[in-house]
Amino acid sequence: MNSFSELNLNKQILNALDEAGYEKPTPIQEKAIPQVLSGQDILGIAQTGTGKTAAFLLPILMKIKYAQGDQPRVLILEPTRELAIQVEKECEKYCKYLDIRFLAVYGGVGPKTQIEEVEKGLDIVIATPGRLMDLYRNLTLSLNSLQVMIIDEADRMMQMGFLPQIHQLLEVIPRKRQNLLFSATMPPPVKELTAEFLEFPVEIEVTPQATPAETVKQIQFQVPNLKTKINLLEKLLKDEIYSKVIVFTRSKSTADNVFKYLERKVEGNIRVIHSNKGQNSRINAINQFKEGEVRVLVSTDVTARGIDVAKVSHVINFDVPIQYEDYVHRIGRTGRAFHTGEAISLVNEAEQYHIRKIEELIRMSIEVVDLPEGLDISPTPKEEAIQIARQIDHQKRKEDPTFKGAFQEKKKRPSKNSKSFNKGGNKSKRKKR
Ligand code: ADP
Ligand code: MG
């Protein structure tokens, strides 16, 4: 399809798209828009950066037409505050010539302004689940008039952390409604849960779930230890082609440490973002990065999903995500909207296992590239070597339960008092991820 005009959108929307510089619909837009217009429930799967937001927003704007009543008719759920804000901005772009009221509500900031805005009346509410339910419970926001519910990043929203809130929500919104679920990833066990949200859905799979964006070149470096990863990162960032970079880490503390190191050693502005940072600092960091004032953004997986920054040159996985879908989302921060980008993973010996699992998930192999010449390869400290060996043992045991590794799990001896507190005192608890 060569033009949006074939999609039964009105003139106001077509003008807005024209001004946004959109020339033709992406495959998910081409396929989803007619189905949403016809009232179907939809499960839409398409790669990162291929315009899923417009795929649900444009037909929704067509359907609700203009401002009406005070209560929202459309709810869009997003997993993070940054995404809620981003989708609000997209909405603004497409609504330029429409009389439609929309608002993002999210936590981390005081509710006062959001309450005042909701009270003015709105047509579309874009929300993170926690704040949405708060505004519902304190009677600021009525959900009785909802006609459409959209769950963006749907597989994420159906994970443990969000599911209880989503269930509470389902109990209070009208049963008769249209439901749209979108994501780039949808692990089969999570997909089963979608039955609860969708009625006779049309499944639109532009590519199988977890297909990385074609526009992203993926490579990996095999690196012996943490210090060498730092050396490598520093060396890479000496090159100016690394113009707009996101460095992902699994933990907040690694993010902070990498940030502190780079801030001292690398040209250009660096920011760090994770869930312990205040909301204003998070939003400022993203905005400055979007505007090109920040060269390197160091981040945990809070920004792995959905965040749309134009022309990110490189994504660097300082460590390998162990929630494998996150790999697809992390690298999908580059190569968006017809641009290209590069994703580089720094992989130690224990992480090679996870890279193999990721390669299975994405059904492709990630090219191993030689370490650059002159890289300072630091020796592995004893403790780190033990930790890596333990992880490898653990992985081997997982694959083969009869495997006897060098590091048998030590049986914890119950401490003297533990029994009085807890009968199963020596049972080690599995950490929730
Ligand atoms: P996804 O949700 O699939 O990851 P987004 O909806 O965030 O992708 O869109 C990625 C980028 O592509 C955004 O900047 C968006 O404005 C832009 N975009 C969306 N559709 C088109 C289009 N048809 N032509 C050009 N750019 C588009
Ligand atoms: Mg998206």
Report the atom number in ligand 1 closest to the C-alpha of 310: 14
Our answer on whether the CB atom of 48 is closer than 6 Å to any ligand 1 atom is yes
189 belongs to a structural domain: yes
Cα 249 to Cα 231: distance, rounded to the nearest angstrom: 16
Residue 175 in this model has a pLDDT that exceeds 60: yes
For position 412, what pLDDT does the model report? 54
CA of 307 to the centre of ligand 1 (A): 11
What is the H or E stretch that residue 256 is in?
A: helix 252-265
Q: Give the domain-ending residue among 347, 379, 411.
A: 379
Q: Which domain holds residue 356?
A: 216-379
Task: State which amino acid sits at residue 2.
Answer: N
Mean pLDDT for the stretch of residues 283-305: 96
244 belongs to a structural domain: yes
Asked whether the beta carbons of 85 and 107 are under 8 A apart, the reply is no
Percent of the chain with pLDDT over 90: 90
Cα 371 to Cα 222: distance, rounded to the nearest angstrom: 8
Our answer on whether the CB atom of 333 is closer than 6 Å to any ligand 1 atom is no
Q: How many CB atoms lie within 10 A of CB 428?
A: 9
Asked whether the beta carbons of 219 and 343 are under 8 A apart, the reply is yes
pLDDT digits (tens, 9 = 90+) for 107-131: 999 999 999 999 999 999 999 999 9
Task: State which amino acid sits at residue 97.
Answer: Y
For position 413, what pLDDT does the model report? 56
412 belongs to a structural domain: no
Our answer on whether the CB atom of 229 is closer than 6 Å to any ligand 1 atom is no
Tokens of residue 255, six digits: 């993010």
pTM over 0.85: yes
Task: Among 30, 50, 325, name the best residue to mutate to test ligand 1's pocket (greatest count of ligand atoms within 8 A of Cβ).
Answer: 50
413 belongs to a structural domain: no
Task: State which amino acid sits at residue 239.
Answer: D
43 and 180 inside one domain: yes
Report the CATH number at residue 303.
3.40.50.300
What domain count does the chain have? 2
Q: 147 exposed, middle or buried (CB, 10 Å; 0-12, 13-18, 19+)?
A: middle
Of all protein residues, the one whose alpha carbon is nearest to atom 11 of ligand 1 is: 337
Residue 424 in this model has a pLDDT that exceeds 60: no
99 and 201 inside one domain: yes
In sequence order, which residues have a C-beta less than 8 Å from that of residue 25 and are 6 or more positions away?
Answer: 1, 3, 4, 7, 33, 51
107 belongs to a structural domain: yes
23 and 61 inside one domain: yes
The pLDDT-based confidence of 401 (bands split at 50, 70, 90) is confident
What is the H or E stretch that residue 50 is in?
A: none
Q: Which residues pair with 321 in a beta bridge?
A: none
Residue 415 in this model has a pLDDT that exceeds 60: no
240 and 355 inside one domain: yes
DSSP assignment of 315-338: EEESS--SSTHHHHHHHTTSS-TT
74 and 107 inside one domain: yes
393 belongs to a structural domain: no
Our answer on whether the CB atom of 335 is closer than 6 Å to any ligand 1 atom is no
For position 160, what pLDDT does the model report? 85
